[in-house]
């Protein structure tokens, strides 16, 4: 069968988006891996699936698959592309869109300038929310990785994140520590790893090694987790501009029980059809 798709990106974090409301398909893990191949397939960091909602309060169900075929709970850059996609495809005319994800409900708002604000909900720091093997909830946890001791902030944004503060993201050991922390035994479902350089109380630079994908040009939930961890430690104040390699995001979080808001762009690259093997 021929599968219709749209290629999109949020700050260089790229996605294949598939509408499974007006067409039918069931993608196996090996098919997702083939589609993700940048030489023999479409190529993407994540596959985004649009499905009918299971709850009458929601507009859509939003599913996310990594390039290795594993399904994950949330993706912030993908959420912005999801909002742009369902509007472009005329699946909805709403400016405020409610979607269900494996990590919980999200509210997406398309702004007048075309950017998208995502209500990411409240950051969660308790270890069982990630999950993370730790005796208690604290701003920083010590982690033994490759014979060295790291200090990480552990944050769930519907998906798990470990945040390390570094002097410079340019010299940060992303290629070495990223995969080692991602698969650390204290994270039974693996973890996304953020390397955060603080520029000022309202500005950071960030690189993220994403679970199941590797380093990407941008990670929306990673930006949210880094800012939430920094605010909790008293290092940052809302709002915070996050400079990622693919561009900038604006993160707002007053703390406490308030939801965290992420605002940034979403771009359509091209549309196409591909035969499923």
CATH number where 135 lies: 3.10.310.10
Distance in angstroms (rounded) separating the CA atoms of residues 97 and 117: 11
Q: Residue 133 CA to chain centroid, in angstroms?
A: 22
Instruction: Work out the average pLDDT over 68-87.
Output: 94
For residues 264 and 80, the answer to whether their CB atoms sit within 8 Å is: yes
Is residue 132 domain-shared with residue 57, that is, in the same domain? no
Q: What is the pLDDT of residue 262?
A: 97
Same domain for 135 and 252, yes or no, is: yes
- Owning domain of residue 131: 127-258
User: Does one domain contain both 86 and 139?
Assistant: no
pLDDT digits (tens, 9 = 90+) for 189-213: 999 999 999 999 999 999 999 998 8
Residue 276: predicted pLDDT: 85
Q: Is 75 a catalytic residue?
A: yes
Residues 33 and 93 in one domain: yes
Count of alpha carbons within 13 angstroms of residue 10, beta-carbon side: 33
pLDDT at residue 58 greater than cutoff 90 = yes
Task: Mark whether 145 and 94 lie in a shared domain.
Answer: no
Query: In the annotation, is 224 catalytic?
Result: no
Q: Are residues 157 and 236 in the same domain?
A: yes
Residue 139 and residue 251 in one domain: yes
Q: Which tokens in the block code for residue 96? A: 């405020």
Give me the number of domains the chain comprises: 2
Which member of 81, 150, 219, 224 is catalytic?
219
Known binding-site residue numbers for substrate: 13, 46, 66, 76-77, 159, 192, 210-211, 220-221
pTM of this structure = 0.92
Residues 249 and 150 occupy one common structural domain: yes
Could you list the residues known to form a binding site, using ranges.
13, 46, 66, 76-77, 159, 192, 210-211, 220-221
175 & 270 share domain: no
Is there a single domain that holds both residue 206 and residue 114?
Answer: no
Q: Are residues 131 and 96 part of one domain?
A: no
Residues 224 and 190 in one domain: yes
pLDDT range class, residue 1, cuts 50, 70, 90: confident
Among 173, 160, 163, 166, which Cα is nearest to 143's?
Answer: 163
Out of 75, 81, 150, 224, the active site residue is 75
């Amino acid at each position: 069968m021929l599968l219709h798709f749209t290629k999109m990106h949020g700050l260089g974090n790229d996605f294949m988006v598939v509408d499974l409301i007006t067409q039918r398909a069931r993608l196996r893990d090996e098919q997702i891996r083939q589609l993700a191949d940048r030489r023999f397939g479409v190529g993407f960091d994540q596959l985004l699936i649009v499905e009918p909602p299971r709850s009458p309060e929601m507009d859509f169900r939003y599913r996310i698959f990594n390039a290795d075929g594993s399904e994950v709970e949330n993706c912030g850059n993908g959420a912005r592309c999801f909002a742009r996609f369902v509007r472009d495809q005329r699946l909805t005319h709403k400016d405020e869109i409610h979607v269900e994800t494996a990590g919980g409900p999200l509210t997406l708002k398309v702004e007048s300038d075309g950017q998208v604000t995502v209500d990411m909900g409240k950051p969660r720091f308790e270890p069982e929310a990630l999950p993370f093997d730790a005796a208690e909830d604290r701003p920083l946890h010590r982690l033994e990785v490759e014979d060295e001791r790291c200090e990480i902030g552990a944050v769930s944004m519907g998906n798990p994140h470990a945040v390390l503060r570094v002097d410079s993201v340019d010299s940060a050991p992303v290629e070495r520590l990223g995969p080692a922390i991602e698969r650390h035994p204290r994270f039974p479902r693996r973890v996304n790893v953020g390397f955060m350089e603080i520029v000022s109380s309202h500005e950071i630079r960030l690189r993220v090694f994403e679970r199941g994908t590797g380093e990407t040009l941008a990670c929306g939930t990673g930006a949210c987790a880094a800012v939430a961890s920094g605010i909790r430690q008293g290092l940052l104040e809302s709002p915070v501009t996050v400079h990622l390699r693919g561009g900038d995001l604006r993160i707002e979080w007053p703390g406490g029980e308030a939801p965290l808001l992420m605002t940034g762009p979403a771009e359509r690259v091209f549309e196409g059809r591909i035969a499923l093997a």
